[in-house]
Amino acid sequence: MFYDVNELVIAVVVIILLLLSIELGFRAARRAPANLTDSAKAPVLAITGAILGLLALLLGFTFQMSLNRFNQRKELVLKESNAITTAYLRMRLLPEPDRTAVAGLLRAYVQNRLDFFNLREDPAQFQTVLSRSRELQQELWSHAISAVQKDDREVTTGLFIESLNDVIDQHSNRISAMENHVPEPVLLLLVAVAIMSALALGFACGLQNSRHFFTTTMMALLITMVIIVNLDLDRPRRGLIRVGQESMIRLNESIKNDGP
């Protein structure tokens, strides 16, 4: 549910839950005896600090998990563009007419890989682009087989087949990386600890008989922002933080009008 719902909806729900938790904690503390001593309040304040520390640890842990997956997706874009570039250069070793056909297919394949990224928020079109990429791979492989039947030397067709195999592998790697998210139980635990922290914070404020409205609201807002950034880093098909496609764009521009 974290990866299919709009981020704004998640942010609004989380901030409301945190503010409600602070208010509930504050009202619960108001039921405590008014004559509590500072020594009686000290354990509550210490426990509140410990819970907030646990929340900070979980926020950092999930942020690192999301960031690692984001960096992996970014590296795979570069690896795939390099693999396609190598295949395009080695394509020149193929005999005709396979050479010209493969050049056109690789140009279409690069554009398809850009569409793979740009159409990610539309499930139907995304599946269409994914199916088209597999069709292009099959056509490229058919021409590779045809070229081997004409020339089976390792220095010519063998090198191209090796690079084409790498192109197909990188495609699978990007699909796998796109589907590799931070486990939702971890995110649920993060939200649960955030709510418990808000309850404890509100309770501590209630014991001190002061709402500290500005600081508690600011803290709830900051916690929500960090949670949303964690989610955004790990949502390759939607969100504001996107994996750059510059290497694939440059490759598309360089081969678009290039002859075989």
Q: Is the pLDDT of residue 59 over 70?
A: yes
pLDDT at 192: 93
Contact yes or no for 70/233 (Cβ under 8 A): yes
CA distance linking residue 109 with residue 180, whole number of Å: 24
145, 150, 154, 156 alpha-carbon torsion, rounded to 10° = -100
% of the chain beyond a pLDDT of 70: 90
Q: Where are the domains of the chain?
A: 7-256
Q: Is the pLDDT of residue 253 over 90?
A: no
Global pTM reads 0.81
Summarised one tens digit per residue, pLDDT across range 169-179 is: 999 998 888 88
- DSSP E strands in 86-148: the ranges are none
Q: Is the pLDDT of residue 20 over 90?
A: yes
% of the chain beyond a pLDDT of 90: 36
